[in-house]
């Protein structure tokens, strides 16, 4: 639900817990908390991927409230596209080949940029299981992501359209961001750890730490495991 903070105030998306669709693999009533947890991790690590997100009580009860990026009337610019096999733009990476509804060959591609690489690192850290192309928009030179309710599960569930970086080395700046999150979550006295403990289970917090440590140890983007669908559907 699109809401606004008074006349002339910023727009935001309000997602009440009561409206969450039950999922077979995520506990009921937890998606709003995961949205907030993703923002806290993004902010604490300096990823700057997730717009400010809080839990608030609204007309339909408690839910997540996330600041809207851009003007609701504008068409946002996305770093993921669907093109013909011979139309892959320079500086973009192919991820998935298939056919459209007309039977024509198409390729899902995403840009190769430092901002996109940072988002891919962030998604691997939070175990994002639904990184569609439409969930990323450009905002003043940065990439902002939203819809992180199905993330931070204790089991590996990474599904993303940003597999173009799979197996490549992670940049030092992004490794530093991961290290900051790991350090803050390891310390049970930090505000980040306290907030995550209130939003996630102990096993989910432990899994977050495990993913962060593995990324720091391997210093490379993960590759699809083959044990879980690697790309969300639809991808855009």
Instruction: Say if CB 170 and CB 38 are below 8 A apart.
Output: no
Q: What is the pTM of this model?
A: 0.93
Instruction: Say if CB 46 and CB 160 are below 8 A apart.
Output: no
Question: Could you tell me the pLDDT band of residue 234, with boundaries at 50, 70 and 90?
Answer: confident
In this model, does residue 70 exceed pLDDT 80?
A: no
Query: How far apart, in whole angstroms, are the C-alpha atoms of residue 119 and residue 162?
Result: 8
Per-residue three-class SS string for 174-210: HHHHHHHHHHHHHCCCCHHHHHHHHHCCHHHHHHHHH
Query: How far apart, in whole angstroms, are the C-alpha atoms of residue 51 and residue 67?
Result: 6
Residues 35-62 as b/e (b if ≥16 CB within 10 A, e otherwise) read bbbbbbbbbbbebbbbbebeebeeeeee
pLDDT tens-digit readout, 188-217 = 999 999 999 999 999 999 999 999 999 999
Domain borders along the chain are 2-74+111-218
Neighbours of 71 (CB within 10 A): 9
- Which residue is associated with the tokens 């850290």? 125
In this model, does residue 131 exceed pLDDT 90?
A: yes
| Residue 159: both structure tokens together | 């599904």
Q: Lowest-confidence range among 2-11, 97-106, 164-173, 186-195?
A: 2-11
Query: How far apart, in whole angstroms, are the C-alpha atoms of residue 85 and residue 106?
Result: 6
Of 152, 160, 164, whose CA–CA distance to 127 is shortest? 152
pLDDT tens-digit readout, 16-58 = 999 999 999 899 999 999 999 999 999 999 999 999 999 999 8
């Amino acid at each position: 639900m699109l809401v606004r903070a008074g006349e002339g105030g910023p727009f935001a998306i309000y997602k009440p817990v009561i409206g969450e669709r039950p999922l077979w693999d995520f506990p009921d009533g937890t998606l709003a908390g995961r949205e907030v947890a993703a923002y806290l991790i993004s902010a604490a690590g300096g990823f700057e991927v997730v717009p400010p997100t809080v839990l608030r009580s609204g007309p339909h009860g408690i839910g997540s409230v996330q600041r809207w990026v851009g003007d609701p009337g504008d068409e946002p610019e996305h770093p993921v596209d669907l093109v013909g096999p011979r139309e892959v733009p320079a500086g973009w990476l192919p991820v998935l080949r298939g056919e459209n509804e007309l039977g024509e060959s198409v390729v899902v591609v995403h840009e190769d940029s430092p901002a996109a690489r940072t988002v891919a690192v962030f998604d691997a850290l939070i175990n994002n299981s639904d990184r569609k192309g439409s969930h990323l928009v450009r905002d003043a030179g940065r990439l902002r992501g939203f819809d992180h309710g199905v993330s931070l599960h204790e089991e590996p569930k990474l599904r993303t359209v940003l597999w173009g970086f799979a197996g490549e080395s992670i940049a030092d700046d992004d490794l530093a961001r991961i290290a900051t999150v790991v350090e803050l979550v390891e310390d049970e006295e930090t505000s980040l750890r306290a907030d995550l403990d209130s939003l996630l289970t102990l096993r989910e917090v432990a899994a977050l730490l495990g993913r962060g440590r593995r990324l720091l140890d391997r210093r490379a983007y993960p590759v699809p495991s083959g044990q879980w669908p690697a790309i969300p559907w639809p991808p855009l």
